[in-house]
Amino acid sequence: MNQAVICGFLGADPELKHTTGGAAVATFNVATSESWTDKSGEKKEETDWHRVVVWDKLAENCSKYLAKGRQVLVTGRIRTRSYDDKDGVKRYVTEIVARNVQFIGANQGQNRVPPPSDEVRPAASSAHHSSPASSDIPF
């Protein structure tokens, strides 16, 4: 089973692009944090950044309604893919391909009208959508 669930805050506004085939794809980074007290009583905090990829109508909705600072709950699957950078060096990226993005709390980013529901899910036609090949991804 490949299932990822994260709850955190957007580090920047989502970036919306379209593949050569016309499919909408949005990417954004989500910060998750954990805090604890170490043995000496000192408070510690660790933040991890997660790259999230969203497709089709869900991508368009995320681009429209999410902004830097907004809290989200993301569910999806983890994918690692490779690409060649501008110098021809093979690079690897691990990302969460979102199936569901739930908007949480007040919009901390720019003043944008919230969607009718706090939860945004892919349209029925894209619920079983398989992501285009990595070569179709414009980043």
Residue range 4-35+46-112 forms a domain whose CATH class is mainly beta
pLDDT for the residue 139: 44
Q: Which residues of 6-30 are buried (b: 16+ CB within 10 A; e: fewer)?
A: bebbbeebbebeebeeebbbbbbbb
pLDDT for the residue 107: 56
Q: Cβ distance 62 to 120 under 8 Å? A: yes
Structure confidence by residue, pLDDT tens digits, 92-113 = 999 999 999 999 976 544 444 3
Which one has a higher pLDDT value, 134 or 3?
A: 3
For the cut 50, the answer to whether the pLDDT of residue 121 exceeds it is no
Share above pLDDT 70 across residues of the chain, in percent, rounded to a whole number: 76
pLDDT for the residue 105: 73
* Residue-range domain boundaries for the chain: 4-35+46-112
